[in-house]
Amino acid sequence: MAIADYKKYLAENVLNDRHTVTYTLLSRALRVHSTLAKQMLYDFHRNENDKKPGSVNATYVLTGVQNPPAPSGANSTHVNGDDKGDDVMQSSPYMSSMPNQDDAASDLVPSTSILLVREEDLEDSKATFQSVSSIFIYSLQATTIQDLNSLTDVSREIASTYAQEDPLECGKQWGMIQNKNVKRRTGTRPPVPAPAPPASSKPIVPSKRPAQDEVKHQVKPELKKENSAETSTRESTPASSKPTEKTAPKREKSNLFSSFAKAKPRQKKEEPVVPAVSGAESAEPSGPEDVVLDDASEEEVEELFPDSGKSASTNTRETRKEREEKLRKMMEDEDEDEEMPDTTEPPEEESKPIDQPPPKPAGLKEEVTVQGGRRRGKRQVTKKKTIKDEEGYLVTVEEPAWESFSEDEPAPLPPKKKPAVSAPKSKPGAKPGQGNIMSFFGKK
Amino acid sequence: MAVNPAENEFLRPPSDQAYASNLRETSYYNPLDTFKLPTGPERHYQQQYGDMYFLRLAKLKPAVERMAVESWEGFNIAGERARRVDRVLDVRQGELCWVAGTIYMDMPLKPNILTDLTKENFTLAPPPRRTYLDPSQPESTQIMLEDESGRLRLTGSLLRSTQLATGAIVAALGTENANGDFEAIDIKVPDLARQPRRWERDARPPSETGSTSGKIAFVSGLGITGTSSDTLSLSLLTDYLLGYTGSSSSTSSDASRITRLVIAGNSLGASVAVDASENDAVPKKKNPPKKYGYDASAYNPSPITQLDSFLAELLPSIPITLMPGASDPANLAFPQQGIHRAMFPRSRSYCAPPPTGEEKVEPGWFDSVTNPWEGDVEGWRLWGCSGQNVDDVLRYLDFTTDEEGNVNTNGDDESRIRIMEAMLRWRCGVPTAPDTIWSYPFQTDDPFVMQACPHIFFAGNQPRFNTAVIEGDAPFKLNGGDTEMTGTDDTTVGPRVRVLSIPTFRETGELILVDSETLKVEVVKFGTFSGKEDQQ
């Protein structure tokens, strides 16, 4: 590995800029194994101090067994020995089987200490150890650190600077203990401040999320390409196209994330996505899960990087107003709070293809539309109808009827939509309601 | 400076040596949903708490009566045989008998909603007390035995030397005296429940004979407050768990053998809540605009952000089970439900997928579980709590002055272990819920009753580390006192429980490791050496 590099790096950072460099920072910056980074720190420390004593100061980490502090060993033995007599279990004959040797052993619990030590205190602290199993340089700095806690600023800096690097990939390089069983789900990466690539025209390659493909289900790249191409062609057409009514696989995408995101990207994104997928469905003969999968993951990418190509005009403003209205309603309506946990289910839901249908309380059939981030639909229910027949009798007939429902928050409809969706009465989640008084009396 | 070869590994000029990657052992993990509350509209809070006591008594009465029959069958004093009485109200004066019921302790300083109401003292929450006892008037503490029929006051010298707390189910032998009090001469508890075999719920993994045994790591009370002062030992802990600290040659404290980290509560420092309430004290602006969600002025996000990055740093290498604690953003009433993954934007990709319908999902790599929590790790049954249960029972008991009358504070951590042992023998992990620990009003089941005796019983956020092994009576004679729990011949060995009191990391810097074969314990301590600079 570039030996000269680290000298230059350390000279610049430690000597010139008077920064603190820990081995973690060095191994991240130079992309070397942590052991190597420790050795580099040691080498630099020795060389510089040979040239000019006291020019570089170090902190060490000592690992080993410390001498037990004198007082703590004494008190715990006697309590077990003779106080046991007044225990609650005293009467139990088997109490004698409570192994005393184990209590004695509890004093002998092997203890390892990992101590961070200043260079000046190194010999002092070594004296407190029975045996030292390892010692390495934790950090180098130009002068003695007054407050060791300032070292955490370095790790914080590391956390922010190298947040982009996927630990699953780079960990091996740094010397992290690898775990072959690690499970990570696809879905949104943590909100890392990253430059947003323009997502509009070119196919979205998951460059930001390289590890996810290997972790779980595979996203077909070709499909993705085609789908996004579809998206871009559709974008040129006016967005006023009515959302197509769609069936099962699309339903799972209740798109909660978008309802929590800012109104702007949602509005921009939703409309192209819906027709695009339906188009892809018809064009692409492959299984429907692939489409859902693909769509879900792509959508999240778009969410992160809203394409700036689309024009957001009056539509956006309207939605925002609408949303504000919605939020106010949500806050005023206390019962809605109960629903919140459900709604806040994170968006990862989308990344999983689920064939499970949404709750349908009485429905025989249903059709669901996703529109504006909300799930709407119609379902067939049997309704009782009482009519007077020709002889004057009242006859009750059950007949199927279509009823509209919405999964999400009832909201004032966008003006272009038919007024058929009258949400509040058909909200599926029954309100928790007051406890029935009978449940109080009906004790077993 | 060279003392031993391991020391040399890092203190030498860099070489071109290639480093083999270290692989972590597999973790076998199968949590139980004992303490998961129903979600959404099925979670009601209108029920009465009385049902919980009823259920507890119904569950544990047969067990305690079996114990009582075993030891008191044919017991007689001066020709009078001890008679079994079914209900506490059926106890007749002057008659030697025994009866089973729930302990209820009436104590002067115990929070009491009725007293608060009569004093028109509507505080939000009673201030935490060190003890509910009033040492100036010890007679004001009353211990009663109750069942569905009524209550019976217990007296007798035995009570002074017996540890009891509200909610424990016991059987008492004695007579009712002229005052109508029950003079107890012996008390029985249900004792340890049946202990499952190792790997009882899981298929035993193919035992790789060559591989070394794993370790389970426990930590509690990380106490992240978001300030820089608390994170140094935390970053040492991170480095250790990720394997940056250990030298590749040493195997004894090799972090790659740690298969799972269990965080037992109080991951966030207490000042989170304090900050918020301080902000509340500031007079509100006139007619503040109603704002939904995040309000930066009333909420300090840095502790949870730091916890998130701490977890996200560890998760690529080690699976984590996270339990909430008293100071964590979870519900306060027991059982505390897991901290919601929305709190962890970076770590949540390691969570299990959200539950879909009825089918059971595989536990996540990062599992945010309930407190208390029960589950199988490496085949062993674990039962743990973030420490509120032990802290609260301790308030019922007077350990500050022992029988010699001298105040010992060091005995405190010993008494905590004894309380934990008592809980195991009461078969009730949180006996004082719902009396003095806030609890969900369970209606059909009391999950705090231990159906099965765990192998590892831990309580977090204790002042000091301590451990013991508790043994139940063996059906057969033990062959050799110090047999390891091998799991195969458990039928012949009585239950053995490793009890751990896990110290607060923020104060002690201690991480507890339990060997997954022998259940032997070791401690790793992180800290800084306060040398000359600090002492000045």
Whether B160 and B263 map to the same domain: the answer is: no
- Do B167 and B273 lie in one domain? The reply is no
Pair of tokens at residue B154: 């217990």
Written as one letter, the residue type at A368 is V
- Using a CB-CB cut-off of 8 Å, the residues of chain A touching B253 are 63, 112, 133
Pair B391, B415: CB distance under 8 Å: no
Which chain B residue has the Cα nearest residue A326? Answer: B292
- Check whether residue B235 and residue B326 sit in a common domain: yes
What was the pLDDT predicted at A332?
Answer: 64
Question: Does B410 contact A76 at a Cβ distance shorter than 8 Å?
Answer: yes
Q: Tell me whether residues B240 and A429 touch, CB distance under 8 A.
A: no
Residues in chain B with CB shorter than 8 Å from the CB of A189 are: 349
Claim to verify: residue B442 and residue B315 sit in the same structural domain: yes
The DSSP letter of residue B414 is H
Q: How many angstroms separate the CA atoms of B300 and B277, rounded?
A: 11
Within a domain: B67: yes
Which of B41, B245, B413 is closest, CB to CB, to A429?
A: B41
- CB < 8 Å to A35, chain B: 9-10, 19, 248
pLDDT at A358: 44
Query: Does any domain span residue B174?
Result: yes
**B276 and B312 assigned to the same domain:** yes
* Residues B142 and B13 both lie in one domain: no
The top-scoring range by mean pLDDT among B28-37, B285-294, B379-388 is: B379-388
* Among chain B residues, CA nearest to A43: B13
Residue B288: inside a domain? no
Chain B CB contacts of A348 below 8 Å: 348-349, 351, 353-354
B21 vs B95, more confident: B95
Distance CA B97, CA B155 (A): 15
Contact residues for B224 (Cβ-Cβ < 8 A; gap 6+): B230, B231, B234, B267, B268, B269, B303, B306, B307, B310
* CATH assignment at residue B421: 3.60.21.50
Closest-CA residue to A109 (of B75, B514, B385): B514
Q: What does the pLDDT average to over B449-478?
A: 80
Burial class (CB in 10 A: 0-12, 13-18, 19+), B529: buried
B149 touches A: beta carbon within 8 Å: no
How many whole angstroms separate alpha carbon B174 and alpha carbon B159?
Answer: 12
Helix (H) / strand (E) containing B311: helix B302-314
pLDDT confidence band for B296 (50 / 70 / 90):
low
Cβ <8 Å between A152 and B309: no
* pLDDT in the model for residue B457: 92
* Nearest-by-Cβ selection for A168 from B256, B316, B521: B316
pLDDT at B358: 60
**Does the residue B200 lie in any domain?**
no
CATH code for the domain in which residue B109 is found:
2.40.50.430
**Nearest CA of chain A to the CA of B513: how many Å?**
10
Tens of pLDDT, residues B310-340: 888 888 888 899 999 888 888 888 888 888 8
The domain of B161 spans 50-188
The pLDDT of residue B269 is above 50 = yes
**pLDDT band per the 50, 70, 90 thresholds, residue B517:** confident
Same domain, B162 and B247: no
Could you tell me which residue, B91 or A245, shows the higher pLDDT? Answer: B91
Q: Are residues B80 and B37 in the same domain?
A: no
Q: Is B419 a domain residue? A: yes
Residue B272 forms part of a structural domain? yes
Residue B443: which of A432, A440, A434 has the closest Cα? A440
Residues B167 and B271 in one domain: no
pTM over 0.80, yes/no = no
Per-residue pLDDT tens, chain A, 444 aa: give them. 455 677 888 888 888 887 888 888 888 888 888 888 888 888 888 888 888 877 788 888 888 888 776 544 333 333 333 333 333 333 333 333 344 434 444 457 788 888 888 888 888 888 888 888 888 888 888 877 777 777 777 777 777 777 777 767 777 777 777 777 777 776 555 444 433 333 333 333 444 444 444 434 443 444 444 444 444 444 444 444 444 444 444 444 444 554 454 444 444 444 444 444 444 444 444 433 343 334 433 344 444 444 444 444 445 555 677 777 777 777 665 444 444 444 444 444 444 444 444 444 444 455 655 555 556 667 777 777 787 777 778 888 877 777 776 654 444 444 444 444 444 444 444 455 566 676 666 655
Interface A-B, measured as beta-carbon pairs within 8 A, has a size of 330
Residues B182 and B219 in one domain: no
Query: Which residue has tokens 């719920």?
Result: B201
The domain total for chain B is: 2
Q: Where are the domains of chain A?
A: 3-68+111-174, 210-355
pLDDT of residue A12: 81
Contacts B41 to A, Cβ<8 Å: 338, 429-433
Looking at chain B from residue 8 to 47, which residues have their Cβ under 8 Å from any Cβ of chain A? 9-17, 19, 21-24, 26-27, 39-41, 44, 46-47
On whether residue B514 sits in a domain, the answer given is yes
Lowest mean pLDDT among A317-331, B228-242, B278-292, B422-436: B278-292
* CB spacing of A134 vs B10 below 8 angstroms: yes
> What integer pLDDT is reported at residue B218 of this predicted model?
92
CB A244: neighbour CB atoms within 10 A?
Answer: 14
Instruction: Tell me if chain A has a CB within 8 Å of the CB of B361.
Output: no
pLDDT of residue B481: 40
Q: Considering only alpha carbons, which residue of chain A is nearest residue B417?
A: A80
pLDDT given at position A435: 63
Q: Both B171 and B226 in a single domain?
A: no
Task: Give which of A92, A132, A179 to mutate to test B binding, by max B Cβ within 10 Å.
Answer: A179
Say how far apart CA B398 and CA B390 lie, in whole Å. Answer: 13
Angle at the Cα of B407 (from B401 to B409), degrees rounded to 5?
105
What ipTM does this complex have?
0.75
Nearest to A183 among B15, B365, B473 (CB): B365
Chain A residue with CA closest to B512: the answer is: A111
Picking from B422, B501, B411, B421, the residue whose alpha carbon sits closest to that of residue B461 is B501
Identify the pLDDT of residue B480. 40
Q: What's the CATH code, domain A3-68+111-174?
A: 3.90.1030.20
Pairing between β-strand B466-471 and β-strand B496-503 as defined by DSSP bridges: antiparallel
In chain B, whose CA is at the least distance from the CA of A443? B51
Q: What are phi and psi of B396, to 5 degrees?
A: -85, -20
Is B353's CB within 8 Å of A352's CB? yes
Residues B459-473 as b/e (b if ≥16 CB within 10 A, e otherwise) read bbbbbbbbbbbbbbe
Please give the pLDDT value at position A97. 37
Mean pLDDT of B105-132: 70
Q: What are phi and psi of A243, to 5 degrees?
A: -65, 130
Give the per-residue pLDDT at B155.
Answer: 86
Q: Which residues are CB-neighbours of A292 under 8 A, at least 6 positions away?
A: A249, A250, A252, A253, A353
Asked if B30 and B109 sit in the same domain, the reply is no
